[in-house]
Amino acid sequence: MRLIVGLGNPGAEYARNRHNIGFMAVDAIARRHGFSTWKVRNQGLAAEGEIAGERVMLLKPQTYMNKSGACVGPTARFFKIPPEHVIVVHDELDLAPGKVRVKRGGGAA
């Protein structure tokens, strides 16, 4: 199983903000691939489905971005998803709008 986490901030005031691009991306994936409805799980919203024959869980933490680990960690552990199978989608202010960067690993930034 893969876990695709879309980061953002909860609440209507952030709904269409660039900072919520992670939420928007996983919503688009869910629509395109016919995922299940969103369900509350570990301080987040989760949907399950398949992409290219592989089981995938989408996750939108409902904590603020700097607290997203409180949702992602327990979810990954419960489903025994190793870190290398977790993909995190988030905004990056150092990139121009419309640009994407893919990298392995991470850190504080």
Q: For 44-81, write each residue's pLDDT tens digit.
A: 999 999 999 999 999 999 998 889 999 999 999 999 99
Q: Exposed, middle or buried by CB within 10 Å (0-12, 13-18, 19+), for 55?
A: exposed
Beta bridge partners of 58: 4, 47
Choosing from 19, 33, 85, 90, the catalytic residue is: 19
pLDDT of 38 reads 97
Whether 90 sits among the annotated catalytic residues: the reply is no
Q: What is the rounded CA–CA span in Å between residue 109 and residue 100?
A: 16
- Phi/psi at 45 (nearest 5 deg)? -115, 130
pLDDT 10s digits, 12-50: 888 888 889 999 999 999 999 999 999 999 999 999 999
The length of the chain in residues reads 109
Residue whose C-alpha is closest to residue 9's, from 71, 54, 81: 71
